Amino acid sequence: MTMNGPARAILVANQKGGVGKSTTVAAVAEMIAAGGRRGYRVLVVDGDPQANVTVEDLGVDGDKGRSLAQTLQFGAPLAPIRNVRPNLDVIAGGPQVAVVGASAHLMAENGINMTEHLQIQLEALCETESYDLVVIDSGPGDVPLLDTYLSVANYLLIPTRDDQASIGGVARLAQRFWRARKSGALIQLLGVLLFDVNPRAVKRNQEVFAQINEMLEGSGTSPFDITIRSAPAAAVDMRTLHKTAGELVALANDDRRLRLSRLRDKKSPERALWTSDPSALAADYQELVREIVKRLARFESMAAAQAQERVG
Ligand SMILES: Nc1ncnc2c1ncn2[C@@H]1O[C@H](COP(=O)(O)OP(=O)(O)OP(=O)(O)O)[C@@H](O)[C@H]1O
Ligand SMILES: [Mg+2]
């Protein structure tokens, strides 16, 4: 995997809640930070007042969203929590961010520009910390915050479940995306990700793919080929242990060894995890990372060619 060059920011969003945004942010960020020969430097920005990716997925307390809130409102420098994982830093989410979101209209009326504040501070931080990638998580509500992130990010990844309400959330977000583009945002649509999918429901999955393809017509983007399989037991483990899908694999191996040794010693085999094998789920995310990197490379080479044309 090659991913050199300036940091790029991927916003993960859907106006519907509970579609796998935070879980996916954590899994992808952790895998990219852990992978590669030198390991890529990754920053997670938890733009959600619920702070799920900070607290539940990555297991850090954070500052209740104070740093992000102060950046959005006052343009203060961003203060990351460092080394949450090797090569992975986090700007924590939390209720402070909700307060800023709620006063967005007052700020706009008074010429306070949240987008500009975040953009400048994010660029400054990426410069000093040499991040290769920024992944922004967002909450399901709060439209002013969402619009701010849409204006700051370079790419948009939209996860969705296959029910009509979630797909409706994709459609509403797509509208906001186009509106942001019209008012000058440079964000590009990286793709739509189907989450919590039954891999055996082939017919149903084809139907959903067709529906999303139709929705994306003219956008130049398609849904990701890989889908994230339904894995409710692993999901419970990830949230209670604050581990990503990739990290759960090593834990499951330890768990298996422990249970075997207890069986050998004629003790009852206690299990520490609900899932017996998270490796298929982790493999889905690994493949997603490959697809993301491939799409980023395509966008970036297109941008480079366009820049060449302008020069030439
Ligand atoms: N592969 C999976 N299969 C089924 N459920 C999963 C899977 N991965 C995660 N979950 C669970 O799905 C729920 C929603 O996931 P998540 O919190 O990531 O969604 P979200 O879009 O960030 O939600 P919100 O809009 O509230 O921020 C969580 O309870 C999570 O533990
Ligand atoms: Mg979330």
* pLDDT tens-digit readout, 273-307: 899 899 999 999 999 999 999 999 999 998 888 88
**pLDDT level of residue 37 (50, 70, 90 thresholds):** low
Q: Is 17 in the pocket of ligand 1 (CB under 6 A)?
A: yes
Closest ligand, as measured to the CA of 26? 1
Ligand 1, closest atom to CA 19? 21
Cα separation, 162 vs 196, whole angstroms: 8
Q: Is 228 in the pocket of ligand 1 (CB under 6 A)?
A: yes
The residues, ordered by sequence, that sit 6+ positions from 256 with a Cβ below 8 Å of its Cβ are 276
* Mean model confidence pLDDT for the chain: 93
Strands of 155-160's sheet, edge to edge? 81-85, 88-91, 42-46, 133-137, 8-12, 155-160, 188-197, 228-229
The residues, ordered by sequence, that sit 6+ positions from 11 with a Cβ below 8 Å of its Cβ are 136, 138, 149, 150, 152, 153, 155, 156, 157, 187
| Residue 101, H or E segment | helix 95-102
Pocket test for ligand 1, best of 16, 23, 160 (most atoms within 8 A of CB): 23
What is the per-residue pLDDT for 38? 67
pLDDT for 4 beyond 70: no
Nearest to 196 by CA among 284, 283, 273, 275: 284
pLDDT for 3 beyond 60: no
Task: Give burial (CB, 10 Å; 0-12/13-18/19+) of 152.
Answer: buried
What is the per-residue pLDDT for 62? 94
State how far the alpha carbon of 151 is from the alpha carbons of 43, 117, 144, in Å: 18, 11, 11
What CATH class has 8-233? alpha beta
CA atoms within 13 A on the CB side of 109: 4
- Bin 85: left if φ > 0, else alpha if -120 < ψ < 50, else beta: beta
CA–centroid distance, 23 to ligand 1, in Å, is: 6
Range with the poorest average pLDDT among 116-120, 151-155, 213-217: 213-217
Averaged pLDDT for residues 215-243: 94
pLDDT for 39 beyond 80: no
CA–centroid distance, 247 to ligand 1, in Å, is: 17
* pLDDT tens-digit readout, 158-186: 999 999 999 999 999 999 999 999 999 99
Q: Is 138 in the pocket of ligand 1 (CB under 6 A)?
A: no
Range with the poorest average pLDDT among 35-39, 83-87, 128-132, 278-282: 35-39
- Bin 59: left if φ > 0, else alpha if -120 < ψ < 50, else beta: left
CA–centroid distance, 220 to ligand 2, in Å, is: 27
What is the per-residue pLDDT for 6? 59
CA–centroid distance, 52 to ligand 2, in Å, is: 5
Q: Is 211 in the pocket of ligand 1 (CB under 6 A)?
A: no
Pocket test for ligand 1, best of 22, 137, 237, 287 (most atoms within 8 A of CB): 22
Ligand 1, closest atom to CA 196? 3
CA–centroid distance, 304 to ligand 1, in Å, is: 36
What is the per-residue pLDDT for 131? 95
Averaged pLDDT for residues 71-81: 98
pLDDT for 95 beyond 80: yes
pLDDT for 85 beyond 80: yes
Q: Is 239 in the pocket of ligand 1 (CB under 6 A)?
A: yes
What is the per-residue pLDDT for 1? 45
